[in-house]
Amino acid sequence: MNTAAGREERRIGAKTRWGGLLGQGLGHTLSPLIHNTAAELLGLDCVYLTLDMKSAPSRAFFDALTGSNVYGFNVTLPFKEKVAALFMSRA
């Protein structure tokens, strides 16, 4: 399917891996464009999304994704310290 910009839309299936940027006020970021273009050029079945959240994700959020097709996240301020603390406490 073609988009208005003339680019092919990506198909997301059951085996598609995904990751993204977690933060607040992410409307300006170019990260999805950069990551998804690279994935397309490399022929990878993955997608990079923005997850614009009102509050920092909890440990339960990350635990629920264990064993899923998630490959990872980048985390921006103001959540970076809170998320880092979740993973430091797992060591």
- Catalytically active residues are 80
Find the helix or strand (DSSP H, E) in which 80 lies.
helix 80-88
Beta-bridge mates of residue 72: 19
How far apart are the C-alpha atoms of 88 and 62, rounded to whole Å? 13
Would you call the peptide bond into 78 cis, given omega within 30 degrees of 0 as the criterion? yes
